[in-house]
């Protein structure tokens, strides 16, 4: 079974802090994604990576950056957390060939106070 | 830009009933469509994936159909159970790495 894990289930941070969210997948997938999910807005793509050190901006990259130094690990960085970044953050991965079925992690509920 | 709509936003049915969830999308040039289940406060669990060349996929009590020309997919759940209560989301994939999600249908199955 594909497994995608995220470093924290719940996180509380203060405004202005630098926040790191980590995601690890164990299926040698090429593609990894970071989404945020908000009520009424659905899932929105923040960043996408198709290979080590490669990244592409999604629909809402402002205020975020990412790092992919190893194929299995994809980090989301909030440079200076703000209250409007309070959200559920979901990581996903898929293979770069074949069916492209997406597999999701359990999510991180981030609260910025 | 691809838009994905799921109607209704919420649905409540008695246990044992068969039900259909709907998903519509505006751009028919999709690579595949995937149905997910999400329990409160949790991540998404993949239920079924239909590739663009397929018309339907089945897994246990679940059956998903795809009509690309009309921009529609349905998820059929047979003999619903209280454990089926969750939010169901559909997502369309344009190129293997461009996914667009609906906002989901919240299903409650009443014992």
Q: Is the pLDDT of residue B29 over 70?
A: yes
Which of these, B104, B74, B97, B93, lies nearest to B31 by C-alpha position?
B93
Whole-angstrom Cα Rg for chain B? 13
Q: Is the pLDDT of residue A40 over 90?
A: no
Extract the tokens encoding A40.
Answer: 């009424």
Q: How far is residue B54's CA from residue B67's CA, in Å, rounded to a whole number?
A: 9
Q: Which residues of B touch A23 (CB under 8 A)?
A: none
φ/ψ of B81, rounded to 5, equals -130, 155
- Assess A106–B contact: CB distance below 8 Å, yes or no: yes
Distances (CA, A) of B58 to B35, B76, B99, B106: 12, 9, 22, 21
- Assess A73–B contact: CB distance below 8 Å, yes or no: no
Q: Which residues of B touch A49 (CB under 8 A)?
A: none
pLDDT, tens digit, for every residue of B49-101?
999 999 999 999 999 999 999 999 999 999 999 999 999 999 999 877 789 99
φ/ψ of B82, rounded to 5, equals -55, -30
Q: Which residues of A touch B32 (CB under 8 A)?
A: 99-101
Mind telling me how many Å the CA of B55 is from chain A's nearest CA? Answer: 15
pLDDT, tens digit, for every residue of A60-98?
999 999 999 999 999 999 999 999 999 999 999 998 777
């Amino acid at each position: 079974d594909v497994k995608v894990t995220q470093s924290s289930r719940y996180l509380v941070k203060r405004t202005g802090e630098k926040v790191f969210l980590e995601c690890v997948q164990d299926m040698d997938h090429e593609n990894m994604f970071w989404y945020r999910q908000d009520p009424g807005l659905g899932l929105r793509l923040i960043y996408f990576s198709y290979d080590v050190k490669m990244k592409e901006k999604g629909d809402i990259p402002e205020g975020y950056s990412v790092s992919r130094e190893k194929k299995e690990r994809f980090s989301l960085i909030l440079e200076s957390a703000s209250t409007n970044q309070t959200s559920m953050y979901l990581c996903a991965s898929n293979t770069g060939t074949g069916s492209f079925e997406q597999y999701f992690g359990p999510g991180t509920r981030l609260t910025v106070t | 830009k691809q838009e994905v709509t799921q109607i209704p936003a919420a649905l409540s049915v008695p246990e044992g009933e068969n039900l259909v969830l709907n998903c519509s999308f505006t751009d028919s040039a999709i690579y595949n469509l995937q149905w997910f289940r999400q329990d409160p406060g949790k991540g998404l669990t993949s239920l079924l994936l239909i590739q663009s060349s397929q018309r339907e996929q089945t897994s246990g009590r679940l059956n998903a159909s795809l009509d690309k020309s009309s921009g529609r997919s349905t998820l059929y759940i047979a003999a619903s159970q209280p454990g089926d209560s969750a939010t169901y989301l559909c997502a369309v994939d344009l190129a293997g790495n461009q996914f667009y999600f609906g906002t989901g249908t919240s299903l409650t199955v009443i014992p």
